[in-house]
């Protein structure tokens, strides 16, 4: 086996082995100390819950993913559009950028209760997902649009490119790697935003997302369902990250150094 | 310096002072005739590039008058300055994408420009897949694709190794002989300027102006025999001396 192949096998095998060890330890601890399931359920019990509650959990997963997805799409379009506006129109940047920063640094968990008062719950949850997800898109796109090679800008001036051509043929493609990096962060954050808002809505909420399930199961001491829902949330986050990484790789693989594997 | 008839580039008393107070050029006079190949030779930071940008209309002179053909100018930077996200063909076609008019159908013009710099088989390759010399040839093809009256080059080969540099010097001379466009070539290499040109303008350090004008009355085509001749060495010495005088004898 060559070095790289061996390396790749280890990269897959080692985390799996760690997982197996952790689950085994968990199981042994539960058995050894005879911990009751309403304190800490065994892995087998969590697995069984995952299967038995599948219809319910699946329904909740769809709700949360749908909100996270909508929040992400709005954040992507909103963030890119705002960054382009800032880039083209300095007055807009000076007027609005500080507020974008304030929105970002204010913890969303503190904003969520207010939003829940003024907006119907689904909309409030969506707004939270959007608020946390849009800033990295805005910040990264702004950085990308501003870091275009000066000589290329000169070249475009030499050929009398219009503002629109400059944006479409130079600035946006040049910013693409940064935009994609922003989107990758935004994907994870939109899920976090949706979860935070659902938790804030708590049992008062009429929602049925996964985070709501976790809160509700907590009140009912259904600990194994909490674990099952948490597991699904983690998997959803990983899936979002993988999809966005694949998209990024696909778009950049021919031309950007970040996506090209260098042979040593 | 007396103005020449048929000059297509003419700078009169051109000065340039940047916002930070640095005077890049002061009292720069030069005339370049249609079809000439003229290097601006001088030490780094003597305002050569600034002069080139003023000729191209990318920068405004703070004093004096600059006359150059408006539009249809080719420009080659020190770096290839290609768009990394598009192919060689896409890069060479950029002037047309941005609305530049060519003398012929864009597709054919791009193919011809690529063929001229021996990149035809790499038309679909991306810049990062090719060597530095090939990228520079693509930049030259892009500058030539609109068949400009004036080609401006800003130390285009400075970042390349000597072997590639010699090759590109020969390629550039071949293209120049075929097309007979006017070329203004900024360089800090004595050897390169003597090899390429008919007339060298030696510039002083900042603020830059023309210190001396040296004719190289050797007929083209020039090749490796010229590069190794005593005649060539003589001219190099003469230009070197002028350059060191321009720098105040310090070098």
**ipTM for the assembly:** 0.88
The beta-carbon neighbor of B58 closest among A157, A174, A257 is A157
pLDDT score, position B3 = 47
pLDDT score, position A103 = 86
Does residue A64 fall inside a structural domain? yes
| Out of A62-71, B29-38, B168-177, least confident range | B168-177
pLDDT score, position B2 = 43
Mutate to test the interface with A, among B70, B85, B106, B142 (most CBs of A within 10 A): B85
Q: Do B128 and A260 touch (CB under 8 A)?
A: yes
Does residue A202 fall inside a structural domain? yes
User: What is the count of structural domains for chain A?
Assistant: 1
The beta-carbon neighbor of A158 closest among B75, B97, B127 is B75
Rounded CA separation B70/B54 (Å): 12
Q: How far is B244 from chain A (nearest CA, A)?
A: 31
Give me the residues of chain A with pLDDT under 70, please.
1, 202-207, 259-264
Output the DSSP codes for A107-148. -HHHHHHHHHHHS-HHHHHHHHHHHHHHHHHHHHHHHHHH--
Residues of B in contact with A156 (CB under 8 A): 98
Every domain of chain B and the residues it spans: 6-69+149-163+170-251, 82-148
Does residue A14 fall inside a structural domain? no
Domain that holds residue A73: 42-254
Taking only the tens place, the pLDDT of each residue in A76-123 is 999 999 999 999 998 998 999 899 889 888 888 888 888 889 988 888
Angle, CA of A255, A257 and A259, to the nearest 5°: 80
φ and ψ at residue B77, rounded to 5 degrees? -90, 175
Chain B from 53 to 72: CB within 8 A of any A CB? 53, 56-58, 71
Q: Domain B6-69+149-163+170-251 classified CATH 3.40.50.300?
A: yes
Output the DSSP codes for chain B. -PPPTTEEEEEEEEEEE-TTS-EEEEEEEEEEETT-EEEEE--TTSSHHHHHHHHHTSS--SEEEEE--SS-EEEE-SS----TTS-HHHHHTHHHHTT---SS-HHHHHHHHHHHTT-GGGTT--GGGS-HHHHHHHHHHHHHTT--SEEEEESTTTTS-HHHHHHHHHHHHHHHHHH--EEEEEES-HHHHHHH-SEEEEEPSSSB-EEEEEE---PSP--HHHHTSHHHHHHHHHHHHHHHHHTTT--
- pLDDT at B212 > cutoff 90: no
Rounded CA separation A141/A130 (Å): 16
How many beta-carbon contacts under 8 Å exist across A and B? 57
Taking only the tens place, the pLDDT of each residue in B39-87 is 999 887 778 888 999 999 888 888 888 888 877 899 999 899 999 999 9
Closest residue in chain B to residue A155, using alpha carbons only: B75
Does residue A66 fall inside a structural domain? yes
The beta-carbon neighbor of B128 closest among A157, A160, A255 is A255
């Amino acid at each position: 086996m060559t070095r790289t192949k061996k390396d790749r096998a280890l990269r897959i095998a080692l985390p799996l082995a760690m997982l197996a060890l952790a689950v085994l330890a968990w199981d042994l601890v539960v058995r050894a100390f005879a911990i009751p399931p309403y304190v800490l359920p065994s892995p087998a019990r969590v697995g069984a819950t995952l299967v038995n509650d599948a219809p319910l959990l699946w329904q909740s997963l769809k709700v949360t993913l749908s909100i996270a997805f909508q929040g992400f799409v709005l954040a992507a379009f909103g963030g890119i559009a705002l960054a382009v506006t800032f880039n083209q129109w300095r007055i807009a940047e000076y007027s609005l950028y500080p507020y974008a920063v304030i929105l970002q640094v204010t913890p969303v968990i503190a904003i969520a209760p207010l939003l829940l008062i003024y907006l119907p719950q689904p909309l409030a949850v969506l707004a939270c997902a959007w608020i946390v997800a849009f800033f990295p898109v805005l910040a990264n796109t702004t950085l990308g649009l501003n870091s275009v090679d000066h000589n290329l800008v000169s070249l475009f001036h030499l050929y009398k490119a219009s503002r629109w051509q400059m944006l479409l043929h130079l600035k946006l493609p040049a910013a693409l790697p940064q935009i994609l990096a922003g989107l990758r962060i935004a994907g994870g954050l939109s899920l976090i935003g949706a979860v935070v808002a659902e938790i804030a809505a708590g049992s008062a909420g009429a929602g049925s997302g996964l985070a709501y399930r976790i809160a509700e199961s907590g009140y009912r001491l259904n600990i194994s369902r909490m674990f099952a829902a948490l597991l699904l949330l983690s998997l959803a986050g990983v899936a979002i990250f993988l999809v966005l990484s694949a998209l990024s790789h696909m778009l950049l693989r021919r031309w950007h150094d970040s996506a090209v594997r260098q042979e040593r | 310096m007396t103005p020449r008839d048929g000059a297509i580039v003419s700078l009169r008393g051109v000065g340039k002072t940047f916002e930070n107070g640095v005077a890049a050029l002061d009292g720069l006079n030069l005339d370049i005739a249609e079809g000439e190949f003229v290097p601006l030779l001088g030490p780094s930071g003597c305002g050569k590039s600034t002069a080139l940008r003023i000729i191209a209309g990318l920068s405004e002179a703070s004093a004096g008058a600059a006359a150059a053909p408006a539009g249809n100018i080719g420009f080659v930077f020190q770096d290839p300055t290609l768009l990394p996200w598009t192919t060689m063909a896409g890069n060479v076609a950029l002037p047309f994408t941005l609305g530049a008019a060519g003398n012929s159908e864009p597709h054919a013009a791009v193919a011809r420009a690529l063929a001229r710099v021996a990149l035809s088989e790499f038309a679909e390759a991306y810049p990062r897949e090719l060597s530095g010399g090939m990228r520079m040839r693509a930049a030259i093809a892009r500058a030539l694709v609109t068949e400009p009256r004036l080609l401006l080059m800003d130390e285009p080969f400075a970042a390349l190794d000597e072997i590639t540099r010699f090759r590109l010097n020969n390629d550039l001379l071949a293209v120049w002989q075929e097309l007979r466009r006017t070329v203004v070539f900024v360089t800090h290499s004595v050897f390169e300027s003597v090899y390429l040109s008919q007339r060298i303008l030696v510039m002083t350090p900042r603020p830059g102006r023309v210190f001396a004008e040296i004719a190289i009355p050797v007929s083209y085509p020039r090749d490796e025999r010229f590069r190794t001749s005593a005649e060539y060495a003589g001219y190099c010495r003469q230009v070197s001396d002028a350059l060191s005088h321009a720098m105040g004898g310090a070098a």
